[in-house]
Structure 1
Amino acid sequence: MINLPNDDKSCGWYSVLPPAEPATKLAATQKADYAIIGAGFAGLAAARRLAELKPNARIILVDAQRVAEGASGRNSGFVIDLPHKFSLEHPDPELKQKLLGLNRTAIAQLQGLVDKYNIDCQWSAAGKYQGAVGSRGEAHLNHFEQLMKNLGETYRWVEKEELTKVLGTNYYSRAIFTPGSYLMQPAALVQGMGKNLPKNIELLEESPIRDLQKSDGKWILHGDHGTIITPKVLLATSIFTKEFGYLKNRLLPVMTFASWTRPLTDEEMKRYKGELDWGLTPADHAGTTLRMTADRRILIRNTYKHVPKYGKSIGNETRQWVQTDHRRAFLARYPDLADVPLTHTWGGIYAISRNFTNFFGQLEDGIYASACDNGVGAAWGTISGTLMADLVVGADSQNLADIQYVTGMPNLNPPEPLLGLGVKFRINLAKWQSRSEL
Structure 2
Amino acid sequence: MPITLPRDDGRCGWYKLLTQTRPSRQVHGRQRADVVIVGGGFVGLAAARAYAQLRPDHRVILLEALKVGQGASGRNSGFLIDLPHKRDLELGSLERKKKIYRLNLEAIADLRHHVQHHQIQCDWEETGKYQVAVGERGIGFLKNYATLLDDFGYPYTIIDSQPLADVLGSNYYSQAIHTDKCVLVQPAALVNGLADTLPANVELYEEHPVLELARHNSQFDISTQDAVFTAPKVILATNIFTKEFGYLQARMLPTMTYASMTRPLSTDEMRVFRQVSSWGATPADHGGTTLRLSRDRRLVIRNSYQFVPNYHDDLGTRRAIRDSHLQGLRARYPQFENLTLDYTWGGACALSRNYQAFFGELDKHLFFSGIHQSVGATRGTITGKLLAHMALGEHSESLSDMLEISQKPAINPPEPFLSVGVKARMALARRESASEL
TM band (smaller chain): over 0.9
Q: Residue 209 of structure 1 aligns to a residue in which SS? A: coil
Superposition TM-score, scaled by structure 2 size: 0.98
8 Å CA contact retained: 1:125, 1:183: yes
- Give the counterpart letter for 2:413 in structure 1: P
- Give the counterpart letter for 1:120 in structure 2: Q
8 Å CA contact retained: 2:166, 2:273: no
Moved over 6 A (4+): none
Q: Residue 43 of structure 1 aligns to a residue in which SS? A: helix
8 Å CA contact retained: 1:358, 1:410: yes
Which runs of 5 or more residues in structure 1 are unaligned?
none
CA distance in 2 between partners of 1:163 and 1:216 (Å): 61
8 Å CA contact retained: 2:167, 2:273: no
CA distance in 2 between partners of 1:284 and 1:342 (Å): 25
Which residue does the alignment assign to 2:369?
Answer: 370
CA distance in 2 between partners of 1:357 and 1:282 (Å): 21
Matches within 5 A, 1:270-309: 270=271, 273=274, 275-309=276-310
8 Å CA contact retained: 1:164, 1:274: no
Kindly state the Cα deviation for residue 15 of structure 1 after the two structures are TM-superposed.
Answer: 0.3
CA distance in 1 between partners of 2:276 and 2:336 (Å): 15
Which residue does the alignment assign to 1:253?
Answer: 254
Matches within 5 A, 1:143-162: 143-162=144-163
Which residue does the alignment assign to 1:332?
Answer: 331
Kindly state the Cα deviation for residue 3 of structure 1 after the two structures are TM-superposed.
Answer: 1.0
8 Å CA contact retained: 1:106, 1:380: yes
8 Å CA contact retained: 2:357, 2:372: yes
Q: Residue 143 of structure 1 aligns to a residue in which SS? A: helix
Identity %: 47
Which shifted more, 142-151 or 336-345? 336-345
CA distance in 2 between partners of 1:268 and 1:223 (Å): 49
CA distance in 2 between partners of 1:270 and 1:99 (Å): 39
Which residue does the alignment assign to 1:399?
Answer: 398
Which residue does the alignment assign to 1:34?
Answer: 35
Q: Residue 198 of structure 2 aligns to a residue in which SS? A: coil
8 Å CA contact retained: 2:166, 2:272: no
Q: Residue 335 of structure 2 aligns to a residue in which SS? A: helix
Which residue does the alignment assign to 2:344?
Answer: 345
Q: Residue 271 of structure 2 aligns to a residue in which SS? A: helix
Tell me, yes or no, if structure 1 residue 84 matches structure 2 residue 85.
yes
CA distance in 2 between partners of 1:43 and 1:232 (Å): 14
Matches within 5 A, 1:11-22: 11-22=12-23
Kindly state the Cα deviation for residue 272 of structure 1 after the two structures are TM-superposed.
Answer: 5.5
Deviations 1:47-106 (A, max 9, x none): 000011101000000011111110000000100001112111223111100000000100
8 Å CA contact retained: 1:6, 1:310: no
CA distance in 2 between partners of 1:418 and 1:338 (Å): 45
Deviations 1:234-254 (A, max 9, x none): 001111111111111101111
Which residue does the alignment assign to 1:209?
Answer: 210
Deviations 1:302-345 (A, max 9, x none): 1110111112xx12221110000101100000011131211100
Which runs of 5 or more residues in structure 2 are unaligned?
none
- Give the counterpart letter for 1:393 in structure 2: L
8 Å CA contact retained: 2:287, 2:303: yes
Kindly state the Cα deviation for residue 409 of structure 1 after the two structures are TM-superposed.
Answer: 1.0
CA distance in 1 between partners of 2:41 and 2:92 (Å): 31
8 Å CA contact retained: 2:156, 2:180: yes
Kindly state the Cα deviation for residue 270 of structure 1 after the two structures are TM-superposed.
Answer: 3.1
- Give the counterpart letter for 1:270 in structure 2: R
Which residue does the alignment assign to 1:51?
Answer: 52
- Give the counterpart letter for 2:335 in structure 1: D
Which residue does the alignment assign to 1:323?
Answer: 322
Which residue does the alignment assign to 1:361?
Answer: 360
Tell me, yes or no, if structure 1 residue 176 matches structure 2 residue 177.
yes
Deviations 1:155-176 (A, max 9, x none): 1100111100000111101000
- Give the counterpart letter for 1:280 in structure 2: A
CA distance in 2 between partners of 1:420 and 1:291 (Å): 32
8 Å CA contact retained: 2:8, 2:66: no
CA distance in 2 between partners of 1:417 and 1:61 (Å): 37
Kindly state the Cα deviation for residue 21 of structure 1 after the two structures are TM-superposed.
Answer: 2.6
Which residue does the alignment assign to 1:106?
Answer: 107
Q: Residue 120 of structure 2 aligns to a residue in which SS? A: coil
Which residue does the alignment assign to 1:410?
Answer: 409
Which residue does the alignment assign to 1:125?
Answer: 126
- Give the counterpart letter for 1:41 in structure 2: F
CA distance in 1 between partners of 2:250 and 2:8 (Å): 22
Q: Residue 61 of structure 1 aligns to a residue in which SS? A: strand
CA distance in 2 between partners of 1:229 and 1:172 (Å): 55
Superposition TM-score, scaled by structure 1 size: 0.98
Kindly state the Cα deviation for residue 408 of structure 1 after the two structures are TM-superposed.
Answer: 1.6
Aligned residues: 436
CA distance in 1 between partners of 2:132 and 2:215 (Å): 51
CA distance in 2 between partners of 1:411 and 1:21 (Å): 39
Kindly state the Cα deviation for residue 33 of structure 1 after the two structures are TM-superposed.
Answer: 0.2
Q: Residue 408 of structure 2 aligns to a residue in which SS? A: coil
CA distance in 2 between partners of 1:159 and 1:346 (Å): 32
8 Å CA contact retained: 1:132, 1:282: yes
CA distance in 1 between partners of 2:197 and 2:32 (Å): 22
Kindly state the Cα deviation for residue 364 of structure 1 after the two structures are TM-superposed.
Answer: 1.1
Which residue does the alignment assign to 1:266?
Answer: 267
